[in-house]
Amino acid sequence: MKKKVLLSGMILAISIFLCGCPLESEFPLSIPETAQLDRDLIGNWKFINPEKEEVATITISPFNDHELIIISPEENKNISAYRAFVTCLNGEKFLNVQEIEKSEDNRHWLFVNYSIRDNRLTLRILEDTLMKNKKIDTPQALSRIIEKNLKNKDLYSENSEMLFERL
């Protein structure tokens, strides 16, 4: 059964359909101080909704030398803001995403695999399915599990892919 899930208060400020639960962690996949900015992410992006129900946009900008800020207007005229930085695992690129609006004590990290081709940004949100009943107490332990399962279809829900087009 498909259900509308708002990820961490609307991850990337759009509603998407997911079957599972997004992977949330108290720590990121790596440390932001060593992250490299992926300049191809920077710009304005429009969500391509195959059901044509809603149009959402996000703006990705450099926050500092290592991190990005993702801004998205919401329908109620509020603005959602997310801190993000890139981690590469075996050639795959992941955004470590954290909602800024929450107090620091309540912030968790979400992880989004991404690729860019022909001015199109594809995002896939990692699910918690493979992490259940596993002891994950460091960023390295989390990264190892993800690296070992990069080809495993259970790393993502079947409906977790979102497509954006550069504006």
148 pLDDT higher than 50: yes
- Domains of the chain, residue spans: 3-166
121-134 mean pLDDT: 88
- Residue for token digits 């809603």? 54
φ/ψ of residue 107, rounded to 5: -80, 135
Measured CA to CA in angstroms, residue 50 lies from 47, 78, 159, 164, 167 at distances of 9, 25, 12, 11, 17
pLDDT at 17 (0 to 100): 36
Residue 111 pLDDT grade (very low, low, confident, very high; cuts 50, 70, 90): very high
Written as six digits, the tokens of 58 are: 């996000």
pLDDT (tens digit per residue) in 135-145: 888 999 999 99
User: 72, 58 in Cβ contact below 8 A?
Assistant: yes
Does domain 3-166 bear CATH number 2.40.128.50? yes
Average pLDDT, rounded, for the chain = 84
Q: What is the pLDDT of residue 94?
A: 98
C-beta atoms surrounding 102 within 10 Å: 12
- Name residue 43's amino acid: G
The model's pLDDT over 16-54, given as tens digits with 9 standing for 90+, comes to: 333 458 999 999 999 999 999 999 999 999 998 877 666
At 20 the pLDDT is 59
Average pLDDT over residues 92-98: 97
